Amino acid sequence: MTLTRRALIAAILVIPVAGTILRPALAAEPEVYAPNGVAMGGYDPVAYFTDGRPVMGKAAHALRWRGALWYFASAEAMESFEMNPAGYAPQYGGYCAYAMSKGAIAPTVPEAFTVHDGRLYMNFSTEVRTIWSGDIPGNIALANGNWPAALGQ
């Protein structure tokens, strides 16, 4: 097969276009699990520490952090988060901590949470949380080793 100059130029021009078309299919997951752009499905991350349960946040108390919109139940909770976002945000961007321990990502639900050693961990379901809770320190060590590479970044 003979490659003409014209064919070579056409191939060179097509490669960048093909790369652009394929990029969305190969895109990495966002750093924060935020369906519809809202972190934690709109639940207040501070409430997991102060109330010990999921509390729905309000759009009136919202701020943007790490590319996602975060809702809070009160102005005080929002201010607490602003002063120490890494202290209140869920580990692994709010993706399932157990899945992260396996080198994968999975969505989470508000009621499947654990606060351990001052950190918030979310899980896919309460059943998965039960499995994850069987060895929290071991699973955290594994998940820390996989984060953030599991996002494909």
pLDDT recorded at residue 5: 56
Question: Rounded distance, CA 21 to CA 3, Å?
Answer: 25
Q: For strands 113-116 and 119-122, give the pairing.
A: antiparallel
For residue 8, is pLDDT > 60? no
pLDDT tens-digit map of 20-36: 333 333 357 899 999 99
Long-range contacts of the stretch 19-28 (C-beta < 8 A, 24+) = 27/152, 28/151, 28/152, 28/153
Average pLDDT estimate for 109-131: 98
The average confidence (pLDDT) of the chain is 87
pLDDT recorded at residue 28: 79
Share of the chain above pLDDT 70, in %: 82
Question: Rounded distance, CA 94 to CA 55, Å?
Answer: 15
Average pLDDT estimate for 121-130: 98
What are the backbone angles phi and psi of residue 78, rounded to the nearest 5°? -60, -40
Q: Give the residue with greater pLDDT, 23 vs 112.
A: 112
